[in-house]
Amino acid sequence: MDSEALLFSLLQAVICGKSSEGLAVACTEEALDAAYALAKPHDLAHLVGQAVAGMALPASEILETCKKTAMSAFLRQVQQEQVFTQLSAAFEEAAIPFIPLKGLILRAYYPQPWLRTSSDLDILVHQENLERATRILTENLGYTYCKTSSHDVAFRSPQQVYLELHYSTIEDFISPAAAQVMGAVWEQATPATGHTYQLQLPDALFYYYHIAHAAKHFLGGGCGIRVFMDIWVLENCVPHDRTQREALLARGGMLPFAQAAEALSRHWFDSAQADDMTTLLGQFILSGGNFGTLQNRVSINQSRRGGKLRYALSRIFLPYGILQYHYPILQKHKLLFPLYQVVRWCKLLFCGGATRSMEELQTNAGVTPEQKETASVLLNYLQLQ
C-alpha cells in the first residue's frame, strides 16, 4: 500500500467509520512516516495520530510524533472553543449580530469536534458593526490587532488564538453571480438555538459558501484535502435537501466545481472509482497543501489570463474589480482608481512586498507548457475561467 492509499484508509477509519482491520500491518515505520509527511501540509497529521492510537504498533519515533500531534490538535480545539464561548457571550451582551463560519460550524458534524482542526476562528459581522466589535475585542477582551485585508480584520486573543473578523463574504474571487448569492447572507440568517444575536446560515447557503470558498482557494493554488473531507461530512452527516443545494450552486455559477469536488470527495473517502479528470484534480490538490503553492497559483492564473505577459501585466496593474476590495474607498470614488494603483505599488516596494513580487514574476517566467496545459484542462473541467 503506497503512502497516499494508506493515508486515505486511515482518514476513512477515523472520519467515515470504515474498518481499520489490516491497517496495522500496513503501518510500518517507513509507511507511517510517509503518510504523516503527506498529511502534515494539509493539517491532517492529527488524524493519522488518532487512527494509529489504538493499534498495537512497535514503538518508534514517528508513532510518538503522531500521538503528540493528535494531542496538540485536541488541546488547540479546546482552547479555540473557550475563546469562541467568551467572544460569543460578549457579542450577545453588546447586541452585535454575528455568524460563525467554516470550521466553527463544521466541527459539530465530525465524530468528535477536535478532529476538524482550524488554523483560526472565522466570524462574520455587519460592516457597520465592525468598529464596535473591534473595540470589544481589543478593549474588553484583550485581543491584539494583527492586520486588515480586503474582507476581514485579523486579531490574536490573549490565549494566542487567531481570529478573522469578516465584514464581507464577497471576496475578490467572486463572480457577479456568486456575489449576488453571498450578498443575501444577512437576509437569510436566523438565530442559532438558544441565542439572539448568534446567527446561522440555512444549509444550502452554507454549502454554497463552502464550495465558493474552496473555488477561491483553488484559483489561489490549492485548497487542501480537508475541503473534500468537509464535503463528505456535509453530504453524509448533515440533513439536507440536495435539490436546494444544486439550485443555489447553479444560480451562483458553482455547480460544475461542486460536482467535480464531490466526485473527488467520494473517491477519497468512499473509495469510488476515479476517472481521468478526478485523478488530475486530486494530484493538483495533493501537491498544493492546505493553502496552495505559488507554482500552482501562477500556473492556474497564467492560463486564465492568457499567457505569461498578460499574467504579469494583470499582477502589475490590478483591475478595478479586485483593487476595490483592497481599498474600499474606490467603491464610492472610482475616479481614484489610478491613484490607488500607485499606492499599491508603493506599498509593495516599501512595505516588504518587493521580494514576494519578484518571486512571483520569476515563477511566472518558469511555468512550463505542460504545467500551463494541466491548469487549462482543470479550469475548463471546473468551468472557472
Give pLDDT tens digits for 299-336. Answer: 988 888 888 888 777 778 888 877 877 787 888 888 88
Integer CA distances (angstroms), 4 to 11, 36, 268, 287, in order: 11, 10, 10, 12
Exposure letters 345-373 (e unless 16+ CB within 10 A, then b): beebeeeeeeeeeeebbebbeebeeebbe
Residues 204, 241: contact at Cβ < 8 Å? yes
d(CA 176, CA 178): 6
> What is the 3-state secondary structure of 265-284?
HHHHHHCCCCCHHHHHHHHH
Q: Does the pLDDT at position 355 exceed 80? A: no
Residues 263, 5: contact at Cβ < 8 Å? no
> Taking residues 113-133, what's their average pLDDT?
95
pLDDT value at position 148? 84
Q: How confident is the model at residue 220 (pLDDT cuts 50, 70, 90)?
A: confident
Q: How confident is the model at residue 371 (pLDDT cuts 50, 70, 90)?
A: confident
**Neighbouring residues of 316: CB distance < 8 A, sequence distance ≥ 6:** none
Report the mean per-residue pLDDT for the chain. 91
The residue ranking higher by pLDDT, 141 or 290, is: 141
pLDDT tens-digit map of 242-290: 999 999 999 999 999 999 999 999 999 999 999 999 999 999 999 988 8
Q: How confident is the model at residue 174 (pLDDT cuts 50, 70, 90)?
A: low
Q: Does the pLDDT at position 104 exceed 60? A: yes
Q: Residue 300 has which C-alpha cell?
A: 492556474
Q: How confident is the model at residue 199 (pLDDT cuts 50, 70, 90)?
A: very high
d(CA 186, CA 126): 8
Q: How far is CA 142 from the centre of its chain?
A: 27
pTM for the full model? 0.91
d(CA 178, CA 250): 10
